[in-house]
């Protein structure tokens, strides 16, 4: 989302919003202020906070954009009308490309929010930005009695880490995804701080270099995420998975878990 914010900023900042067109009933998450309140306002800039891109308009109004798992953002030179499949919202800017957000039709997880001055909406509950000094300080000091992987993904502990990056961060830090965060020793915490910064910074560099569509789904751009059964990039052992109802996490038993294979409940249920 950070690279997307940079691209949108370059394309749209400084222009006046001429049109806001909701493309589905459910994706606009706020009732007041109405989206019409944004029309005619100049887009001052676009930033990224957690998994949200934040369009900041004059007068303290903001529009938040969350792409969910499969959202896409298109910038189009010509004016497009009609409802695209999986449409979320379309924004028209004075003399600039038109911005259209869509997502895979079944998902319905992408959304947008219109916030008035002083209203932080869903941003209010976010933890420190994962790449910030505050996040590093939190990792060094937290006593949270939670497992590492879900703690990393919880936007209220650290903001901006999804499932894929959580897999890669645990792998790079050589830590079990189920290690208890508050029990990590100082050396492990330093590895974690370095892994969070390294994985997210490299991802940003990669995303900046990318051409073409601005999709939210990052596909296969991960070191271990979605690569169960493939060789570990560190030790060349086989990457394993732990399956959940609709997803899985991937890890290296050798690099992260002292050669232990973690219980995969779904697999054990099938074998029973
Ligand atoms: Zn390994």
Mean pLDDT of 185-209: 94
CA of 226 to the centre of ligand 1 (A): 15
Q: What is the pLDDT of residue 105?
A: 64
CA of 83 to the centre of ligand 1 (A): 47
Q: What is the pLDDT of residue 82?
A: 83
Q: What is the pLDDT of residue 25?
A: 84
Domains in the chain (CATH in brackets) are 2-125 (3.20.190.10), 133-271 (1.10.8.50)
CA of 48 to the centre of ligand 1 (A): 33
Burial of 240 (0-12, 13-18, 19+ CB in 10 A): buried
CA of 252 to the centre of ligand 1 (A): 5
Encoded tokens for 213: 């569509």
Mean pLDDT of 181-191: 98
Q: What is the pLDDT of residue 263?
A: 87
CA of 250 to the centre of ligand 1 (A): 11
CA of 257 to the centre of ligand 1 (A): 9
State how far the alpha carbon of 137 is from the alpha carbons of 16, 35, 126, 200, in Å. Answer: 39, 38, 16, 17
Q: What is the pLDDT of residue 166?
A: 97
- 166-178 pLDDT, tens per residue? 999 999 999 999 9
Q: What is the pLDDT of residue 111?
A: 94
- 6-50 pLDDT, tens per residue? 999 999 999 999 999 999 888 999 999 999 999 999 999 999 999
Q: What is the pLDDT of residue 214?
A: 53
CA of 174 to the centre of ligand 1 (A): 9
CA of 170 to the centre of ligand 1 (A): 11
Helix or strand run (H / E) with residue 152? helix 148-153
pLDDT band at 92 (very low <50, low <70, confident <90, very high): very high
Mean pLDDT of 65-85: 87
- 252-269 pLDDT, tens per residue? 999 999 999 998 866 555
Q: What is the pLDDT of residue 220?
A: 66
Residues 117 and 61: their CA atoms lie apart, in Å, by 5
pLDDT of residue 148 exceeding 70, the answer is yes
Q: What is the pLDDT of residue 270?
A: 55
Q: What is the pLDDT of residue 125?
A: 97
CA of 131 to the centre of ligand 1 (A): 25
CA of 259 to the centre of ligand 1 (A): 9
CA of 167 to the centre of ligand 1 (A): 13
- 117-128 pLDDT, tens per residue? 999 999 999 999
As a whole number, the mean pLDDT across the chain is 91
Q: What is the pLDDT of residue 181?
A: 98
Mean pLDDT of 213-235: 80
Q: Which residue do the tokens 């590895």 mark?
A: 191
Encoded tokens for 231: 């060789």
- Using DSSP's 3-state secondary structure scheme, residue 101 falls into strand
């Amino acid at each position: 989302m950070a690279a997307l914010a940079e691209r949108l900023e370059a394309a749209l900042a400084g222009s006046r919003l001429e049109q806001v067109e909701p493309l589905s009933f459910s994706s606009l998450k706020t009732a007041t202020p109405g989206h019409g309140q944004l029309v005619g306002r100049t887009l001052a800039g676009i930033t990224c906070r957690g998994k949200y891109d934040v369009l900041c308009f004059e007068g303290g109004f903001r529009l938040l954009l969350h792409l969910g798992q499969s959202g896409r953002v298109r910038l189009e030179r010509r004016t497009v009308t009609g409802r695209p499949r999986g449409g979320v919202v379309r924004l028209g800017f004075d003399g600039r490309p038109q911005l259209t957000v869509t997502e895979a039709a079944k998902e319905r997880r992408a959304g947008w929010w219109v916030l008035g001055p002083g209203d932080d909406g869903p941003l209010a509950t976010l933890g420190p930005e994962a790449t910030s000094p505050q996040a590093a300080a939190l990792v060094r000091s937290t006593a949270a009695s939670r497992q590492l992987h879900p703690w990393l993904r919880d936007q209220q502990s650290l903001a901006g880490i999804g499932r894929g990056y959580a897999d890669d961060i645990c792998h790079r830090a050589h830590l079990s995804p189920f290690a208890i965060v508050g029990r990590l020793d100082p050396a492990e915490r330093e590895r974690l701080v370095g892994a969070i910064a390294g994985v997210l910074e490299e991802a940003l560099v990669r995303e900046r270099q990318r051409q073409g569509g601005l999709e939210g789904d990052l596909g296969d751009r991960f070191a271990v995420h979605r690569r169960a059964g493939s060789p570990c990039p560190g030790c060349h052992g086989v990457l394993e998975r732990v399956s959940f109802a609709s997803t899985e996490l991937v890890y290296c038993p050798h690099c992260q878990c002292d050669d232990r294979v973690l219980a995969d409940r779904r697999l054990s249920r099938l074998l029973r």
